[in-house]
Chains A and B, each alone.
Chain A
Amino acid sequence: SQTIHQWPATLVQPVGSPLSLECTVEGTSNPNLYWYRQAAGRGLQLLFYSVGIGQISSEVPQNLSASRPQDRQFILSSKKLLLSDSGFYLCAWSVGTVSTQPQHFGDGTRLSIL
């Protein structure tokens, strides 16, 4: 069966520090991968998605970047964190080019910027 792992679960970082959040998927090949951010009390906003190794699409301009060095690995990064980067970050995966298959989400990372 397919599983998705996301870590760390919780992270506290000072303003200006770098960031690296990792997400891996097991049990499937060539998944679509997504990074979402959920600000406090708000819905999820799609940040990045990837349909293949090295292919990254950004949905909103921001201080973050994403990379996909391997088929089932998706990394969210920042060189210098801002206070506004605080939030709950969710990784998700799906298969195929159309929306008939739902997305499956990881457990999320709660990021607090001090």
Chain B
Amino acid sequence: AQTVTQSQPEMSVQEAETVTLSCTYDTSESDYYLFWYKQPPSRQMILVIRQEAYKQQNATENRFSVNFQKAAKSFSLKISDSQLGDAAMYFCAYSSGGTSYGKLTFGQGTILTVHP
């Protein structure tokens, strides 16, 4: 079974600064997808960014980018120019490729605080 580990229960960053959230995963599969989801205080889960394992290029979405190290099974999220609205709990998630129907395995989450 796949596992996802987020070793940072909490992180903080100053507004306009950069922060990196860590995620490692364990799998024996070669075809899979990795995601970062954001859960603000409103509790609605929002997809931040997605990475396909077969792609060597790191995914980017505006101020959000990932550092995908497949051999090391590491998938960190970098938030640049942090904004107050980035404050939330962030979850790293894994999904198998193939006919998996998109089932997700989540990490424990990292609470991000943004200081003005």
Question: Which A residues have a C-beta under 8 Å from some C-beta of B?
Answer: 32, 34, 36, 41-46, 49, 51, 59, 88, 90, 92, 94, 96-108, 110
Contacts and interface: CB of A to CB of B under 8 A. Distances in A.
A104 to B, nearest CB: 8
Interface of B: 4, 6, 32-33, 35, 42-47, 50, 52, 91, 95-109
A99 B106 contact: no
Nearest to A45: B106
Nearest to A43: B106
B53 to A, nearest CB: 10
A49 B108 CA distance: 20
Nearest to B109: A43
Select the residue from A100, A101, A103, A108 with max chain B CB neighbours within 10 A.
Answer: A103
Contact of B102 (A32, A42, A90): A32
B96 A99 contact: yes
Contacts of B108: 42-43
Given A42-B109, A105-B44, A105-B45, A97 B101 contact: yes
A102 B103 contact: no
Contacts of B42: 107
Contacts of A59: 103
A34 B45 contact: no
Contacts of B99: 97-98
Contacts of B44: 105-108
